[in-house]
Structure 1
Amino acid sequence: MVSESSVDGVAIVAASGVIDMLTAPQLEAALRDALVKEPGSLVVDLTEVEFLASAGMGVLVAAHEEAGETTRLCVVAEGPATSRPLKLVGIADIVPLFATLDEAVASLRG
């Protein structure tokens, strides 16, 4: 499941459950919808994600590329199901990674 919201002018796309080849298109569509609005900042919140497959990681990389210079994009992920794979494959090297939504929002506002 994917939802969109905003906090203090920061766009947030939050996913939950499993992100795999069947559900990654939902996340991709939500991120595209958010990026079309050209927010200054976008947080992808994976706090409630139980499993992140390579298809989901590919969506994050594509969103980072699509955001370009106009939107600052970051990811909230903590734990072995999300942050660990993002670090292992090197995505955390190109997309800022935060442990909590509050940390991410504070970073983007600062």
Structure 2
Amino acid sequence: MNQLRQRTTYVQSIPIVAITGEIDMVSSAPVSSRLAELLDRNPPALVVDLREVRFFGSDGIRALVETKAQADELGIKFGVVSDSRVVLRPLEMTAVDQLLHLFADVDDAVTALGG
């Protein structure tokens, strides 16, 4: 059974949402909800860390695209951290990698988005 876990920490007032597990049809709703909740707080940026994701389906891609659109509307910078083919390959295949700011680690994301 999929145990999706989300943990939010802050670096320089930027929320970092680290997700562990599988992002699929069932688990994408809580992920989208959490990201929307954080955007409502109007942070300077929002970073999603997907390095511990073991499965990343089309619903995960949709969640990221929707979050990016919401962030753009609010003028909030949005970045995704992943060094895994499980996440990067679907993003490349759908050209969503061209839409998102992708980073290999959280420090790079915070540096790029925090300035």
TM range (shorter): over 0.9
Q: TM-score, normalised by structure 1?
A: 0.94
1:3 matches 2:7: yes
Q: Is the 8 A contact 1:77 1:97 kept in 2?
A: yes
Shift of 1:109: 2.1
Task: Report the secondary structure of 1:17's partner residue.
Answer: strand
**Count of residue correspondences:** 110
Sequence identity of aligned pairs in percent? Answer: 35
Who is 1:95 aligned against? 100
> What pairs up with 1:74-89 in 2 under 5 angstroms?
74-89=79-94
Shift of 1:67: 0.8
Q: Distance in 2 between matches of 1:38 and 1:109?
A: 14
Cα RMSD of the aligned pairs, angstroms, is 1.1
Q: Which range is displaced more, 66-75 or 34-43?
A: 66-75
Alignment-mate amino acid for residue 55 of structure 2: F
Q: Distance in 2 between matches of 1:87 and 1:9?
A: 30
Who is 1:71 aligned against? 76
Alignment-mate amino acid for residue 60 of structure 2: G
Q: Distance in 2 between matches of 1:76 and 1:85?
A: 14
Who is 2:35 aligned against? 31
Which ranges in structure 1 are unaligned for 5 or more consecutive residues? none
Q: TM-score, normalised by structure 2?
A: 0.90
Q: Distance in 2 between matches of 1:11 and 1:52?
A: 21
Deviation per residue, 1:46-98 (Å, 9 max, x gap):
01101100001100000000111510001001121111211221111111101
Q: Is the 8 A contact 1:35 1:67 kept in 2?
A: yes
Q: Is the 8 A contact 2:44 2:114 kept in 1?
A: no
1:22 matches 2:15: no
